[in-house]
Amino acid sequence: MTDPKQSFKPFVPADKVVPEFTITSVILGIILSVVFGAANAYLGLRVGMTVSASIPAAVISMGVIRVILRKNSILENNMVQTIGSAGESLAAGAIFTLPALFMWAEQDSSVATPSFLMITFIAIMGGVLGVLFMIPLRTALIVEEHGVLPFPEGQACAEVLLAGEEGGEKSKLVFSGLGIAAVYKFIADGLCLFPSEVDWSIKAYPGSGIGMDVLPALAGVGYICGARISSYMLGGAVLGWFVIMPMLVLVGGDMVMYPATEPFNTLDTWTLWGSFVRYIGAGAVAAGGIMSLIKSLPLIVKTFAKAMKGFGHDAGVSRTEKSIPLPVAMGGALIVAVLLWLMPSVPVSLLAAIIIVIFGFFFATVSARMVGLVGSSNNPVSGMAIATLLISTILLKATGSTGFAGMTTAICIGTVICIVAAMAGDTSQDLKTGYIVGATPIKQQIGELIGAVAAGLAIAGVLYLLNTAWGYGTPQLPAPQATLMKMVVEGVMGGNLPWGLVFTGVFIAVFVEIIGIPVLPFAIGLYLPIHLSTPIMVGGLIRLWVEKRKFKDESRRQHVIDDGVLYSSGMIAGEGLVGILLAALAAFNIDLNMGAPLGNWGGVAFFVALIAIMIFFMFGSKKKQG
């Protein structure tokens, strides 16, 4: 069997030099980084999730550079999306934690509101660390595991760029998927003709429930990842929603157990998931991450050794393999840790700085591998932040740093780690896109750093603006993730965190590893609502059906599979673009909500139609039918 990484050839050969890191790409990338960062900050604080900006940035870049400026360079377009997507990732990390500081200041007049300088500095340092930690991991995850880790958004973004470059049938497939998904997303989440998340509880089996986010991007991610990875995610979700939650209701009865405040038999599925399964899932994700890192250590050490051996001998390294030198990356990470420790406005001690470096590299590795498996949209950054907050708060409490001062330090540590994990995931997807199209890694890494700094300078203003307008924890800005982080830190400091739930998740992960199932996708499925795993599984089943279907010859089968990847890439892009548009409309208080008159079954009907259209485009040409 041919090794995928040996047979792979990038679109732009290593010996060919084309415009890439230009003034145009940098300026446009910085603008998109700030815009997407602000849009995602609002979206995440409002609904608890963000949208990937890589593909929207690539599409906008092609529109500006190709159509308006009449320039033609796929690597220049790739550089724009590399810089532009950094803003979305940094914003995701910041909004999951920092609003907790604003809520404490509102709750207690003796607690100061976080300063503008403090937020900016923490955000930039976290962004820089996330990029630097991915430098030694690039060879291990992007090159060595090419063909093993699918990196769905990275692959989808590359397909969008290649379709724009090559035109013809490829372009039609990508942009057909993009257009249909964009219209669908606008109808679902803009006009709200039907709920984008359908949900049913099963009365005959109390505590259980089923549902689905009937959205195009999730089906596209499932198709690109395939049935196997999708089934692992769904397996974790089934354990949570059909085993653990019903068992809690059956055994708990009319008892009340923290963190819930009402009897088990009165709790709905979402309260059961949020109060219990989420903690179990966080423990499973943390344990899965540790086991993943242990298994990856030999490859990481080998990569480090190879990079150190080659330091100072870049003359023989091809353009498509040249990264920022490893000693520079390591030195940069050390400087960031020292700056965090010495900066007067940032309450980070030497112990906290050490925690940040150790956990930062650990979760950068975990995050990069997870997005390689299930995509950036399903990267449980908040689960990693919870694990960090648990351990860092315990250590701070043990060393005498308690009260609001200790909790503020814990949130600062959690913020940096959260941003590191989000940035590492985004950087790995961008590097995968660059690997496919033939970009220069060192230029992409510098672009990521530029995007992180630009978004970091803007995020503090966005957080202050939103806090002034509505305040965090209000119906307008519920900030669900930050509220959970606040509860975790207060729980550890107050000694009332449900450790039993966390360790249940840890040993579930150990059990899953023992029986030979990949832990991370299973743990992610357990941590996230089942509503995300079901549409991903639908996409995976379509891919499986195509792979098992009879064709006249193998080439025609591969042709249909590849067309499905192209169309799925377009669906991910279309939803991402409209997600940004809807965030902008929400920021200007433009409400198009029709109140979901079609209900749950209307959402299911539209999703079935979406899948049927997807299959039609995959088999649309008579030449492809076998």
Express each pLDDT in 288-338 by its tens digit: 877 876 776 776 676 566 555 555 445 457 888 888 888 889 899 999 999
User: What does the block give as tokens for 579?
Assistant: 């997600």
pLDDT score at 504: 94
| Residue 287 scores a pLDDT above 90 | no
Sign of CA dihedral 372, 376, 378, 379: positive
Residue with tokens 């900050």: 41
The amino acid at 99 = P
CA distance 197 to 13: 44
| Residue 239 scores a pLDDT above 90 | yes
pLDDT score at 3: 53
Q: 364: pLDDT confidence band, cut at 50, 70 and 90?
A: confident
pLDDT score at 605: 94
pLDDT score at 622: 46
Q: Do the Cβ atoms of 127 and 419 come closer than 8 Å?
A: yes
CA distance 615 to 550: 15
Sign of CA dihedral 17, 570, 96, 398: negative
Those residues whose C-beta lies under 8 Å from the C-beta of residue 475, and which sit 6 or more positions away, are: none
Q: What's the mean per-residue pLDDT of the chain?
A: 84
More confident residue, 59 or 228: 228
Q: 184: pLDDT confidence band, cut at 50, 70 and 90?
A: very high
pLDDT score at 465: 81
CA distance 258 to 272: 11
Residue with tokens 């975790």: 488
Instruction: For residue range 103-136, list pLDDT tens digits in order.
Output: 999 888 777 888 999 999 999 999 999 999 998 8
pLDDT score at 210: 93
| Secondary structure of residue 300 in the 3-state scheme | helix
Strand residues in 335-464 grouped as ranges (E): none
pLDDT score at 145: 79
Instruction: Tell me the backbone φ, ψ of residue 261, rounded to 5 degrees.
Output: -120, 0
Q: Do the Cβ atoms of 170 and 566 come closer than 8 Å?
A: yes
pLDDT > 90 fraction of the chain, expressed in percent and rounded: 31
Q: 258: pLDDT confidence band, cut at 50, 70 and 90?
A: confident
Q: Tell me which residue of 587, 444, 346, 570 sits closest to 86, measured CA to CA.
A: 444
Q: Do the Cβ atoms of 299 and 318 come closer than 8 Å?
A: no
pLDDT score at 109: 79
Instruction: For residue range 75-85, list pLDDT tens digits in order.
Output: 998 999 999 88
Q: What is the DSSP letter of 594?
A: -
